[in-house]
Structure formats: C-alpha cells, structure tokens
Amino acid sequence: MNSKNFYIIATAPNEPALQVRISGPYLTEEAAQADLSAAIDEAIEIDPSAKNYEYSISHVESRKPGVIQHMAAQS
C-alpha cells in the first residue's frame, strides 16, 4: 500500500478541526469519488448525527484504514 492515498474525510460542522477519515485508502481520487455516497450512507448508519457532517476527499499520508473499513474488520 502506498503511504500517500486518498481518503473520504468527515468534518464536524461546528468544529472544523474535528476531522475523521471514514473511508479509504483509495489509490485514486476517482475511486474515492465513486465510493463517496456509499461511505456517507454507512457513516449515517453507524451514527445518525453523521448526516450533519461535511464530507470531502483528501490526499493524505497514512497507512491506517478509514473508520468504516476498521469497523468492518472487527465484525
């Protein structure tokens, strides 16, 4: 896995410094964009307040999975 990947990021509307990688890593921005709607739906299933968050795609350096992938691996 590359250390620089694309992730879907959720940002709290009342606290912009609070950002969580909810999904990823993706090798391309297009792959992240294609999964954006499904990732948001899954986040809302986990936490209904997630519907109030702002979502974006970010190119960050990390090898850690997003929250959704982490939770799926635990079940």
* Residues 13-33: tens digit of each pLDDT: 999 888 888 898 898 999 999
How many domains does the chain fold into?
A: 1
Do 21 and 64 touch, CB atoms closer than 8 A?
yes
Label residue 4 by pLDDT band (50, 70, 90): confident
- According to the model, what pLDDT value does residue 11 have? 94
Total residues belonging to the chain: 75
**What residues make up the domain containing 56?**
4-74
Tokens 């990732």 correspond to: 39
Label residue 60 by pLDDT band (50, 70, 90): confident
The SS3 assignment for 14 reads coil
Average confidence (pLDDT) over 39-66? 87
